[in-house]
């Protein structure tokens, strides 16, 4: 969850804000003169994002395309409402295999980026 905080509010509540950021998934967008100027995130989330950026930088073969992700989510939602057609089941199975291959590739590449 993300919260906005002014520099003045941050100065007044710095220990509390840092505790909340460090202990959970809360992020704070810091505003200066009404404009966003910085973000406070936990080191865990920062490192996770950094690793994800490095993996994504390895190329398209290390990313599941957004359109395919959206289609997979649509098929999952449909499966929750009705029985998928044989063609939809094959499509879902194919997408799932492709996603698994990419995840395996990313896991192997962690050795390179860490």
User: How does pLDDT run across 40-79, given as a tens digit for each residue?
Assistant: 999 998 998 999 999 989 999 999 999 999 999 999 999 9
54 & 77 share domain:
yes
14 & 31 share domain:
yes
85 & 58 share domain:
yes
Range of the domain at 99: 46-113
67 & 90 share domain:
yes
69 & 24 share domain:
no
The structure's pTM equals: 0.65
pLDDT exceeds cutoff 80 at 82: yes
pLDDT exceeds cutoff 90 at 24: no
Q: Show the tokens assigned to 70.
A: 């959206």
97 & 58 share domain:
yes
pLDDT exceeds cutoff 90 at 113: no
Q: How confident is the model at residue 7 (pLDDT cuts 50, 70, 90)?
A: very high
- Distances from the Cα of 3 to the Cαs of 34, 40, 109, in angstroms? 14, 10, 34
Mean predicted confidence (pLDDT) in 86-114: 94
84 & 109 share domain:
yes
């Amino acid at each position: 969850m993300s919260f906005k905080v002014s520099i003045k509010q941050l100065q007044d509540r710095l220990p509390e804000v840092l505790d909340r950021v460090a202990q959970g998934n809360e992020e704070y967008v810091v505003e200066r003169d009404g404009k966003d100027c910085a973000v406070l995130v936990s080191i865990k989330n920062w490192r996770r994002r950094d690793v994800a950026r490095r993996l994504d930088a390895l190329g398209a073969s290390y990313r599941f395309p957004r359109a395919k992700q959206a289609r997979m989510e649509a098929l999952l939602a449909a499966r929750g409402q009705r029985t998928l057609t044989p063609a939809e089941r094959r499509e879902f199975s194919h997408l799932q295999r492709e996603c698994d291959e990419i995840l395996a590739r990313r896991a192997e590449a962690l050795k390179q980026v860490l």
